[in-house]
């Protein structure tokens, strides 16, 4: 199990992930079309009911939220693989979206971009930011 911090900004529904060391960005930055998609990411990461409730309070009160997820190794590996070839940050993705060019294609296409590892649900979505689990 690895602790991963998921940071969510209500404006633009941007989501990004910080690794177990508390500093390294892992996985992709994502811009979701709705808050339901953000909730889907948190459910993919198996956030508890209490964590979901705190997330909702933070989003309503501050417009931002951070949720700590304890991801199994297979889901962590799938998230890291999904981030390969995805060098853009939330600001750059916002500009792309405003220009009608979102989502961009990953720079390293291949099975690591779409497949879950070791039976873990895939963390996928070129159009949607939610897992197909």
| Residue 129 belongs to a domain | no
SS3 state of residue 31: strand
| Residue 57 belongs to a domain | yes
| Residue 107 belongs to a domain | yes
Name the domain count of the chain.
1
| Residue 84 belongs to a domain | yes
Helix residue ranges per DSSP H, the chain: 35-44, 49-62, 73-83, 90-98
| Residue 126 belongs to a domain | no
Closest CA to 129 of 61, 27, 56: 27
Q: Which domain holds residue 102?
A: 2-113
| Residue 85 belongs to a domain | yes
> Which pLDDT band, with edges at 50, 70 and 90, does 108 fall under?
low
| Residue 119 belongs to a domain | no
| Residue 77 belongs to a domain | yes
Task: For residue range 68-103, list pLDDT tens digits in order.
Answer: 999 999 988 888 888 887 778 878 888 888 888 887
Per-residue pLDDT, 47? 94
Task: For residue range 9-61, list pLDDT tens digits in order.
Answer: 988 788 999 987 878 888 888 888 888 999 999 999 999 999 999 999 999 99
Predicted TM-score (pTM) of this structure: 0.72
């Amino acid at each position: 199990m690895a602790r991963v911090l998921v940071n969510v900004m209500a404006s633009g529904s941007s989501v990004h992930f910080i690794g177990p060391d508390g500093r390294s960005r892992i996985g992709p930055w994502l811009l979701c079309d709705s808050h339901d998609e953000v909730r889907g990411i948190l459910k993919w990461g198996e956030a508890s009911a209490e964590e979901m409730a705190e997330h909702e309070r933070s989003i309503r009160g501050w417009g931002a939220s951070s949720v700590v997820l304890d991801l199994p190794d297979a889901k962590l590996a799938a998230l890291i693989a999904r981030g390969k070839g995805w060098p853009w940050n939330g600001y750059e993705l916002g500009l792309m979206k405003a220009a009608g060019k979102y989502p961009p294609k990953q720079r390293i296409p291949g099975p690591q971009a779409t497949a879950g590892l070791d039976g873990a649900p895939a963390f996928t979505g070129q159009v949607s930011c939610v897992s197909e689990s």
